[in-house]
């Protein structure tokens, strides 16, 4: 009986090995690197707005060139930016008209970082994967409802306290800006600590509600929805083996990183080493 059982175990093991060998290899993952940026040309549309200096100055252009050199080491096959475009290819029409001369006059961070790098790499297109609420769509950041509820319920102090970290970061940024490179300033927005603390602004709003009216929870839900739709657009155009650089406002960083880290077939690449390399290059 012992010999019979041993033989059966050996047969099962052999069949299992043959079955595993017959399975097709898994496709290579899509590698995603998220670069959270601040506004180089601030339109003043955020709840808190940082004041940035002129990125078209010779000093800043040298730093942005060093940033492009460092990010190029990631070897992106696609660059995706904070533009809203149409599928299926999500190509940004403005990129197809881009010339390096625009870097001398246009302060926009999407152009200065995303378009600059894509052009350097010889990419035919840049994908715009942003998502905004339009006709028949929800407001993905219903902050006014949160403000109205806090005023009606005497909770304005709780809301202002949540912005304490944001205000402190803004002051520190503006103090350091004259002496630090753009890559070094971007490190403030992309460290694991900064991304986690920045997200606490959103989760802190969960307590702003009374059980029947939950404006803080609704804001969190809609903000996640926007970022989920952004990442879904990334998935629609990325192919196995692609290396995708995502250049978006730093407020999107938590969810875009989370989705890249937890979605099957995708792999998150840390941008911090590339920013440190860019800072070293810019200071040579």
Res 211 pLDDT > 60: yes
What is the average pLDDT across 52-74? 97
Percent of the chain with pLDDT over 70: 89
3-class DSSP state of 236: helix
Q: Which tokens in the block code for residue 136?
A: 């028949």
Band of the pLDDT at 93, cuts 50, 70, 90?
Answer: very high
Handedness of CA 206, 164, 246, 26 (dihedral sign): negative
User: Distance between CA 140 and CA 235 in Å, rounded?
Assistant: 20
What local confidence, expressed as pLDDT, does residue 16 receive? 54
User: How far is Cα of residue 14 from the mean position of the Cα atoms in its chain?
Assistant: 46
What is the average pLDDT across 117-138? 94
What is the average pLDDT across 121-139? 93
Burial class (CB in 10 A: 0-12, 13-18, 19+), 2: exposed
What is the average pLDDT across 76-88? 96
3-class DSSP state of 104: helix
pTM for this prediction: 0.88
What local confidence, expressed as pLDDT, does residue 126 receive? 98
Res 9 pLDDT > 90: no
Q: Which tokens in the block code for residue 61?
A: 């252009």
Rounded to whole angstroms, the maximal C-alpha distance in the chain is 85
Q: Cβ atoms within 10 A of the Cβ of 126, count?
A: 29
What local confidence, expressed as pLDDT, does residue 48 receive? 52
What local confidence, expressed as pLDDT, does residue 198 receive? 92
E strand or H helix at 176: helix 164-176
How far is the first Cα of the chain from the last one, in angstroms, to the nearest whole number?
A: 76
Distances (CA, A) of 96 to 91, 107, 193, 213: 9, 18, 37, 46
Distances (CA, A) of 154 to 81, 150, 159, 231, 269: 39, 6, 10, 37, 43
Handedness of CA 110, 113, 116, 120 (dihedral sign): negative
User: Distance between CA 10 and CA 4 in Å, rounded?
Assistant: 10
3-class DSSP state of 5: helix
Contact 227, 259 (CB under 8 A): yes
Band of the pLDDT at 274, cuts 50, 70, 90?
Answer: very high
Res 165 pLDDT > 90: no
What local confidence, expressed as pLDDT, does residue 210 receive? 96
User: Distance between CA 19 and CA 33 in Å, rounded?
Assistant: 35
Rg value, the chain, Cα: 23
Res 176 pLDDT > 70: yes
268, β-bridge pairs: 32
DSSP state letter for 25? P
User: Distance between CA 260 and CA 30 in Å, rounded?
Assistant: 9
In-domain check, residue 2 = no
Band of the pLDDT at 52, cuts 50, 70, 90?
Answer: confident
What is the average pLDDT across 43-71? 84
Task: For the chain, give the mean pLDDT.
Answer: 91
List Cβ neighbours of 192 (8 Å cut-off, separation of 6 or more).
Answer: 272
**φ, ψ for residue 116, nearest 5 deg:** -55, -50
In-domain check, residue 217 = yes
Summarised one tens digit per residue, pLDDT across range 222-238 is: 999 999 999 999 999 99
Q: Containing domain of residue 170, as a range? A: 30-282
What is the average pLDDT across 66-84? 98
In-domain check, residue 266 = yes
Name the residue among 133, 116, 139 with its Cα closest to residue 278.
Answer: 116
Tally of domains within the chain: 1
């Amino acid at each position: 009986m012992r010999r019979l059982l041993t033989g059966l175990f050996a047969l099962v093991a052999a069949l299992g090995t043959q079955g595993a060998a017959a399975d097709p290899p898994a496709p290579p993952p899509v590698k995603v690197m998220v670069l959270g940026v601040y506004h180089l040309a601030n339109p003043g549309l955020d709840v808190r707005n940082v004041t940035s200096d002129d990125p078209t100055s010779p000093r800043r252009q040298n730093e942005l060139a060093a940033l492009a050199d460092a990010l190029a080491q990631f070897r992106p096959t696609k660059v995706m930016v904070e533009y809203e475009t149409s599928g299926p290819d999500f190509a940004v029409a403005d990129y197809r008209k881009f010339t390096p001369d625009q870097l001398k006059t246009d302060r926009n961070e999407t152009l200065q970082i995303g378009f600059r790098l894509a052009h350097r790499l010889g990419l035919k297109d840049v994908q715009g994967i942003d998502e905004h609420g339009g006709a028949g769509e929800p407001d993905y950041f219903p902050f006014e409802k949160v403000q109205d509820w806090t005023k009606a319920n005497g909770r304005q102090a709780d809301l202002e306290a949540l912005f304490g970290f944001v205000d402190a970061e803004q002051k520190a940024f503006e103090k350091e800006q004259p002496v630090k490179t753009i890559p070094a300033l971007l490190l403030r927005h992309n460290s694991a600590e900064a991304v986690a603390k920045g997200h606490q602004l959103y989760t802190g709003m969960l307590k702003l509600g009374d059980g029947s009216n939950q404006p803080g929870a609704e804001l969190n839900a809609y903000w996640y929805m926007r970022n989920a739709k952004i990442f879904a657009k990334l998935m629609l155009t990325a192919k196995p083996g692609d290396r995708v650089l995502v250049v978006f406002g730093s407020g999107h960083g938590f969810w875009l990183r989370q989705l890249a880290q937890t979605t099957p077939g995708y792999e998150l690449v840390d941008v911090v080493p590339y920013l440190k390399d860019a800072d070293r290059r810019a200071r040579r």
